[in-house]
Structure 1
Amino acid sequence: MAAHMGHRLRKGATTGVVMAAAVAALAASQAPEAVQPPVDNAGGDHAIGAGDTTPPSGRGSATGDSPYYTALPPLNTPNKPGASSNLPVITGPAEAGIPASVYSAYKRAELSIRSTDPNCNLPWQVLAGIGKVESGQARGGRVDANGTASPRILGPALDGNGFALITDTDDGAYDGDTKLDRAVGPMQFIPSTWATWGQDANSDGKKDPNNIYDAAQAAGLYLCANDRNLALKADLDSAILSYNHSTEYLNTVLSWVTYYQRGTHQIPDGTGVLPVDRSDDVGRGNRPHPTTPLPTVPTTPAPTPRTPEPKPSETRPGTVKPPTVPTKPPVTPPVTPPTVPAAVKVAQLAIVANQKLTTTTGSAFTGAPRVAALDAAGKPVAGVAVRFEITGTTDTRFAGGGTTATVTTGSTGLAASPALRAGAKTGSFTVRATVVGRTLHAAEFAATVTERQADTLTRVAGDPLSATTGTSFTQQIQVKATDKGALAPGVRVTAVIVTSKTDPKESTEGPSFKRADGTSVRTVTLETGTNGLLTFASGDLLAGDKAGTFYLQLTAPGGGTTFIDLTVTAPPTTPPATDPTPTPEPTPSGSGSPEATPSPSASPSA
């Protein structure tokens, strides 16, 4: 950090003195060929660069707050010949030189925009200051004969780490990244902003953010948006901050504007100083804070000692020989009037229909957010890109599954979002509609998702339900859910085993619901099918080990309630088993065995 800061302190700083210098520079005569912008303080506004800066309102920025180059101008800024200053006349230091094609693009953009929006008072030095900070003047003017950067200039992926999080909006067409957006080209436009503000300033049939002519003209239009007058401090600050929401960025750009206002010159393409010291070199989100002011410029020049002129073959020690302007200048296309984006004409987004949206879970909303893009006179503006965005904790999505959608207004200025479909989550959220590339007040639509309802639950005809303890109910149970007479699919129904209809509390014994893991519970939540039916299959309901009368209570959002009787009986009593073997008769009491009775026919013995 110290090494970086020390390097910057040797180059200069952007404190109050720099801001005051910007006032003097922009109010004083311009560099050669420049046009003097008027300063209008009739309304009490300060001149450009005076006082503290005020960040603009709104969330958007041209670059997505991408990193920028923080190197500052030399302490000895260039001075135009004949000006009252003790600073030496600098005719060719590399820092003061602007590559020929880049210089031409800035000048052409100034002239073109002044022809269509003279009240903006855009000085080309503001474009040069931004171009220096964003890309080091197209990386020192490394552009082809048509002014297109080669290779193309890309910022880091805008992943939200230290700058904005912007997911892909151009399918990688400009930045080659199909997941995240990147700032593109010499003026570092993000693709979504370029889609609105892009220009074809060199009339080659393409709007190319890597072409310095296209990019410079688009940047000028972007800075002049919202009827800004850049001769006023507040508007100039707002314009620069709309490019990148950083006070250090504003001060750095203004320091280069001041520097270029004091004088500059053209150098060959490709020979400019390559940019160094990017703002994310010291840690993302930690912008450097240069604090050393420029020295105060005296009003009376100090005497300059006469120095003998060197011979043509000699070079004075310690001087830098100015680079030679190329003998074959780059191709300079004709000045093309800027194409004012339709978005610039919009004064407001008016809500046309469906400001309040409601539906139930899993259902489509019956209406879509609809807005009208209107100009200051209340007339519709066609061709405006309107971005609809779902915000809040919800799983509602636009048709196609996205949370954002961009729609272009038709000839009537109207734009409606794609159809919305709710997910499983209930609650409220907001749909915001904004004009792409502008920071106008958003049109907001309130949306609510509630549970699906059924006002009636009825058991489909079936036998009474009974089972013995230790078994399960073998009968199938079906319940029909309806709402306002229509079948009610997707309704979440709560089923509870209770012991009383008048005081329905979950029972602690008796029947229960069998779970897949083998355990049982006495409260479950089920959902009706597409036919509005809720089904308990045979064996889903266990009888338990307690005989008695119980009830299956079913309730649904919307008031639907029903009770189904459950009878649990004890198994029948079984009589004891008997022995099939006959029991012998008992023996008479007496001594010994019974005597034999003589047969009557037997003869007595002799």
Structure 2
Amino acid sequence: MAAHIGRRLRKGAATTAVAAAAVAALSASQAPGATGEDHGRQATAGASTPVPEAAADGSANATGNSPYYTDLPPLNSPNPSPSPTIGTPVSRGPAEAGIPATVLDAYKKAEAELRTSKPGCNLPWQLLAAIGKVESGHARGGRVDANGTTLGRILGPQLDGNGFALIKDTDHGEYDGNSQYDQAVGPMQFIPSTWAWAGRDGNGDGKADPNNVYDAALAAGHYLCRNDWDMSTQAGLHSAILSYNNSQDYLNLVLSWLEYYRKGTHSVPDGTGGVPSHRSDDGSKHHTKKPSDPPKTKPEPGKPGDGKDTPDPKPPKPPAPPTPSDTVDHLENAGNGTTKLTAMAGDAFAQRISTRAETKAGAAVGKVRIRFTITGDTDATFVGGETVATIATDAKGVALAPALQAGEKTGTFKITTAVVGHQVKGVDYTATVTARAADTLARTSDTPLTCTPGGEFADQVQVKATYKGAVADQVAATATLIKSADDATENDKGPYFKDADGKVVRTLTDLQTDDKGLLTLPKLYADDTTGTFLLRITTTGGATLTVELKVAAADASASPSPSPSPSASS
């Protein structure tokens, strides 16, 4: 069966040779003279090779290392060919290459979404298909309704520590129907504690349901693509698969199905797909069905297996010792004394959230996984673009969350904390994103701004905004032609702007600096009033600049001024 959840992985990435050997063993078994036995293939699948470290975010495996189907791909690789019948060509091949239509559609839709949201991941839908085959036999052969929801729950065994990992209930039985222990749920076999942060809405119905193949496939894709893993590289691919289920056998098995599906698949009607028959917890090793396999029969009376020679049951296992998570009573803020953080839109928060796990007596608890979750109406994320991060506490019981990155949406949101697999009192943090701001404005030119009555100013006003000496980009600004330095109300005469209809405008709103902090105002025009006038520009953050404009009759000895513009309409 799969390794337990607490088991640490060995360092290093599984080599390409291992995956190649697994596939080669499958091919070799088809060659002339092959015996058709499984032992050679099993040896490859179980080869001992270095395994990468646990996920960088410290999270548990998606499945809690629950059991999985161990059936290997068939001996002959798929070789799809167009249907000879008239109409739309249909790919055909071995039965094992057939994937139920709705399930196949879910895998492909998930790949398409991730190609846009996480292009650097390079996730192939065949990887989702390989995992879906191993985890649930493609939702038990495609037993799903028209919306992709399974006809009945697909549940793994309860993770009660008896032969499996110990994961106490985290969802109050909402997904798995078990209020004592967690169980892997749905076509991609997520445990509820992982689904709580990894779940996605893949079919657009407004909810994330682990029993829906569209939701589960998209969630699996995002789970595999976290930590900036690249599926086009060996290291990224192997790390992602092992993070799904921490087992070398599991890695080799998924790689075998991935290679098989890459060579060709075809769609079959929902509910008609084949269902694997061997599992990692039933004592069977990786198995490929062959034509020579005899059908299973009931044992004859008096023969082994009829119950008459059943050995005495094993004595019950002693209760498992408490895990570090079981000793945690509450979480405390371990930062700089405040649970309130502030950052400007587009900036990184200067402070990082730090949380300490403690016993009831206040002692630190190390090696406990703390989940940090961003909640509320915000586009802020942790560095890397995720809204959830799971970090293990150090020897001092402290977990340091990744840096927070403010988005463009202003306002207040929360970051909640929880102990993975154990319900305790957490600590909430409040974060506020303020609008982009500038504290200084300056003209980019010192050329005087002058105009003759009824004419237009030759130069446009351009200013540069900075904040603490750095470029202040995308900062909101307004520009108003004011009455005087002491009276900031809008002037009713003198220079003006024009709106889209050519009408007089003396206040401009919804202005914004560009990515270089520059703001260039529209052309200015003058009515028949002469004199000195003031243009005031202000930004979010309090930066203010007053620009002087002069309207005077042309000097007869000077060069002619620009031709007067048509009279402005009022």
Q: TM-score, normalised on structure 1?
A: 0.43
Q: TM-score, normalised on structure 2?
A: 0.46
User: Who wins on radius of gyration, i.e. which is larger?
Assistant: 1
